[in-house]
Amino acid sequence: MLRTNDLFPMLFNNVFNNINDAWNQNFPRDPQINISESKLNFKIEFCVPGLSKEDLNLTIDTDNNLVISMEHKQPETKPAETPEGVKVEKPKDEYHFLRHDFHIPHFKEAIALPDNIHKDKITAKVENGILRILLPKVTPEEQAKLAQTITIE
C-alpha cells in the first residue's frame, strides 16, 4: 500500500476504491470465468448470457494463448416491401430497456496454454448461457512418444 501524508486524498481514494470494488463485485463488466482441472482435461467455463456461438470466437495465437473473443451482433433491420414494390424500412422493436444488466458488447481474453494440451482436440460448446471449453491433456505415454533422439553424425 502506498503511504501518503495527505489525509484527504488517502481517504478519498479508499472510499472510491471500496465503492468501485463493490460495484465490480456486484456488476462485473467482463464475463465470469471458471477454470478447473482433472487428470485428463482442463475445463474453462465463461458466463455468456444471451450470446450464441455466432457471437464467440476461439483461436490459438502464435504465443500459445487460447484467445476467447466475444462480440454481440445486433440484428439488422431489413427493408420491407409494400405491395407496390416500394421498399420501406421496418420500424425497430418498440421495446426499450428499463434495466440492462447482462449485456456484454465485446470482450477478449487470452489464456496461456500449458505445453501438455492436445491443441487439435480442443472442443467448445455454448449451452444455457455458458461457454464450455474442454482442453484434453497429453498423457505421459503420448508425451514419451513425442520425445525424439537425434542421431549425431
Q: What pLDDT digit, counting tens, does each position of 96-105 carry?
A: 777 776 666 6
- The residues near 26 (Cβ < 8 Å, ≥ 6 apart) are none
Residue 1 has what pLDDT?
A: 47
Taking the complete model, does pTM exceed 0.75, yes or no?
no
Q: Report the first-to-last Cα separation within the chain, whole angstroms.
A: 60
Cα–Cα distances in Å, from 43 out to 22, 48, 67, 104, 113?
28, 16, 15, 22, 12
The answer to whether the beta carbons of residues 133 and 113 sit under 8 Å apart is no
| Residue ranges for the chain with pLDDT beneath 70 | 1-29, 72-93, 101-105
Distance of CA 111 to the CA centre of its chain: 10
Domains of the chain: 36-76+101-153 (2.60.40.790)
